[in-house]
A = this chain, B = another copy of it.
Amino acid sequence: MNTVSTRNPARPARPTGADAAATPAARRAREQAALREKILAAARDLFVRQGYEAVSMRRIAEAIEYTPPAIYTHFRDKSELMRELCRRDFETLAARFLRLRRVHDPVERILRAGLAYIAFAVEHPNHYRLMFMSPPPCEAEPDSECLRGIGDPEQDGYAFLNFSVADAITQGRFRPEFRDAEFVSQVLWAGVHGLASLLITHRDDPLINWHGVEKLSRGMCESLLRGMLTDPRSLDPRTRKAPKPKGAAS
C-alpha cells in the first residue's frame, strides 16, 4: 500500500523538497496523487450509498470516469481501498482527540472529546456513516493493517476516551455505579454517537425542529457527565476555581 504525506483526504499529497520542482515527473506524481484521492472519495461515497458489498471496482472507476485498470494501479482490490479509507478516517478522528491530550482535568478532557467527536461527525457525514453507521468496515477482512493502533490512545479514539475515563475514576470523580471504565466509555460513546447519527440522518426531517448542534452537543455531554459525577459542579470551570459554599444552587 502506498503511503500518503497528508492526513487530510481532501488535499492531494504533494511531493516535497527537490521533487517539488516543476518537472514532468513532479507533475505526473501530483496527478497520480490527485487521482488516488478521487478514487478514495468516490469509493467512500458509493460504499455509504450502496453498501460495501454492492459496489465493484468497475463501478468506482465509472463514477470518476476512469477505466478499471487505472484504479487498479492504486489499489489492488476493493478491500485494500476500504482498509485505506478505514485507516485514514480513524486517524483523522484520533488526531482531533490528540489535540486534547494536554487538557489536565480528565473530566474536562472527556467533555471536550465528546464535543469534538460530534463536530467531526457533523462536518464529515460520509466519513462518519462509513466508520460508525455501517457494519464495521473491516469486518469482512480484519487484518493487521486494520488492527494496528487499536488500544493506543494516540491512534484510537475509543482508547483515548477509555484512558481519560480511567483517569477520572482513579481521581474518584465518578459515582460508585460508574467506576468501570469500559462501561462508562460505552455509555458516553453511545450518547455522542446518538446525537451525531440523528443529526446526519434526520437533520432535514421537516417534522423535527432541531435545536442548534452546539447546544445539543453540550446538552448531551454535560448531562451525561453530570449524571455520572460524584460532584456535578466540578464540571463547571468557574465552580472548580471558586467552589460555592455548601448548599448553594449548583
Which A residues are closer than 8 A to B by beta carbons?
49-51, 54, 132-136, 139, 142, 150, 158, 177-178, 180, 182-184, 186-187, 189-195, 197-198, 201-202, 205-211, 215-216, 219-220, 222-228, 232, 246-247
A232 / chain B contacts, CB cutoff of 8 Å: 227, 232
19 chain-A/chain-B pairs, Cβ below 8 angstroms: A50-B51, A50-B54, A132-B201, A133-B201, A158-B208, A178-B219, A178-B223, A180-B211, A182-B209, A186-B208, A186-B211, A187-B219, A190-B191, A190-B195, A191-B195, A193-B194, A193-B197, A194-B194, A247-B247
User: Complex formed: what's the CA distance from A193 to B208 in Å?
Assistant: 15
Tell me, rounded to whole Å, the shortest Cβ–Cβ distance linking A55 to chain B.
12
Beta-carbon nearest neighbor of A147 in chain B: B207
Beta-carbon nearest neighbor of A184 in chain B: B219
Copies in the complex: 2
Q: Is the CB of A220 within 8 A of B191?
A: yes
A202 / chain B contacts, CB cutoff of 8 Å: 132, 136
A216 / chain B contacts, CB cutoff of 8 Å: 183, 186-187, 190
User: Complex formed: what's the CA distance from A190 to B178 in Å?
Assistant: 21
A180 / chain B contacts, CB cutoff of 8 Å: 211
Beta-carbon nearest neighbor of A136 in chain B: B205
Q: Is the CB of B220 within 8 A of A223?
A: no
User: Complex formed: what's the CA distance from A13 to B178 in Å?
Assistant: 47
Tell me, rounded to whole Å, the shortest Cβ–Cβ distance linking A86 to chain B.
12
A136 / chain B contacts, CB cutoff of 8 Å: 201-202, 205, 207
Q: Pick the contact of A220 from B187, B215, B222 — CB < 8 Å?
A: B187
Beta-carbon nearest neighbor of A176 in chain B: B249
Q: Is the CB of A190 within 8 A of B183?
A: no
User: Complex formed: what's the CA distance from A202 to B186 in Å?
Assistant: 11
User: Complex formed: what's the CA distance from A228 to B222 in Å?
Assistant: 9
Beta-carbon nearest neighbor of A224 in chain B: B223
Tell me, rounded to whole Å, the shortest Cβ–Cβ distance linking A31 to chain B.
34
Q: Is the CB of B187 within 8 A of A223?
A: yes
User: Complex formed: what's the CA distance from A205 to B180 in Å?
Assistant: 20
Beta-carbon nearest neighbor of A177 in chain B: B219
Q: Pick the contact of A133 from B133, B210, B215 — CB < 8 Å?
A: B133
A186 / chain B contacts, CB cutoff of 8 Å: 208, 210-211, 216, 219
Tell me, rounded to whole Å, the shortest Cβ–Cβ distance linking A134 to chain B.
7
